[in-house]
Structure 1
Amino acid sequence: MTADLRFGVNLTALEDRASWMDKCRRAEDLGYQAITVPDHLDMPSPFPACVLAADATKNIRVGTFVSNTSLYSPALLVRDAVSTSRLTGGRLDVGLGAGWARRDFDQAGIPFEPAARRVDRLAETIDEFDRAYDHPADRPPLLIGGNGDRVLRLAARRADIVSFSATAFDPRGRGMAYLAAEEMDGRVALVDAELRRQGRDAVRRNVIVLRTQLTDDRPAALEDYSRFLQGTMSPDQIDELPGVLIGSPEQIAEQVLTRQERFGFGYFTVQEAALEAFAKVIPLLT
């Protein structure tokens, strides 16, 4: 694979056992290396979905993307992850985040605490993972995702995979907005600085792609999306967004390489809606 690129797909729709397994097999056949499942209350429960995904496939990795550590007791989350890792034959990547969507907390009947406390809970959960394993090498790989300074510094210190959010979150937990390329430069620089302070080698860097659109008329598609965003971003700004890929398969492949060069991203996760479309890009990068 070109420059050690990895591609994953975030699956969010669970109809029944057979269709879920078929979809997971399709993802592996299309060339994806990872199937991940978000952790929102209106989506499938991630750990059993990961077990079934692994059962349906041969080699593809599975993972949570990401588990909201504020909704769990650290000990219970670690128990579920340990069991899932064993049941998937060691193919589990554990994605962890501090939680951002207030609706999840409201539905679960859990207080939506200030961001600082939610990040504390994330750190406590990582500590619990370390306590659960005598040898760090035995622990499932940890992917830590977010956008804030504390989360990214924590990821730089403790994660096997740092996942950069392509959005900035409303501190009230009620929405998000795309992160501009210049803002992502700052997020990457923060992680690089923390890695140097810790004396750590470079870690794998992930970004989640929120919109993938195949088109033969890229300028027109960028104009259309700018109008959809009510003019808050120009077509040129959208063209550089880390979380958006628009164009022909060849143009999107070039965008992937550009983002790899600029931000160091080596692992791209697309949404389920782009499962088939982005698969046309993968052969161009392998």
Structure 2
Amino acid sequence: MEFELIETHIDSGHYHVTLANPDKPNPINSQLQSELGTVLDDIEEDDDAIVLTMTGGGGSFAVGADISQMNEWFQSDDWDDLIRFFRSGQRLMDRIADLDVVAVAGINGYALGGGLELALAADVRIAGESATVGFPEVDLGMVPAWGGTQRLPRVVGESTAKDLLVTGRHVDADEAAELGLVERVVDDDVLEDTLIDYAETLAEKPDHVLPYLLDAVETGAESPLETGLSYELLCNTLASFDEETSGLVADFAEK
């Protein structure tokens, strides 16, 4: 399928998406939401899907929600369309976070507001050295509406999240790594290759176990330790029932 605001490449269970608005630094508007949703439809229906990687073309990951589109709704008092836009964006981020495949955001240039929320919905974030992240919504008299106030503290802690949200300050790649907002920083010119290498690494793993690992971590993060441990045991038991696990254990024992 041809898209106008994204480019896609699919190879051996690796879905790679590049945000590619030819005119602007990848603001997230209704059309981009729809196009990303179509890719998620394909991933959810593909039993061979393993990993989704996302990055931005034109020097930016995504500068946030499309303020020009939102301004039209503000000026015309079209609150229904505005609220629908907020809700659809939140559902989109939830779908990414709930994928049974590993989602990796390769942040290049600006990832602000909704762009950072898109990155936070991913399981892993890798930043190019040019990356700049932040939540500028406070300066517009707004609150992040696509999960920023909920996912950010789960990643960097409550105090740091509050600091970033109330000041709206920009954070460069190195500070983002120090805060735990990104897992690593690489040179911009190798970011794409890093994403490919990451996907190839995952392709070598027993694919049936990856959803269990993601689910165990996510469930445990939102549950008391006792509940998380019980769920971990369940996930490991279900994963162990797979024939591939039995074969891998036998091969390891023989060595």
Same fold judged by TM-score > 0.5? no
Larger Rg: 2
- Choose between structure 1 and 2 for higher RCO, CA contacts under 8 A separated by at least 6 residues: 1
With the shorter chain as reference, the TM-score category is: 0.3 to 0.5
Scaled by the length of structure 1, what TM-score is found?
0.32
Q: Which one has the bigger helix percentage?
A: 2
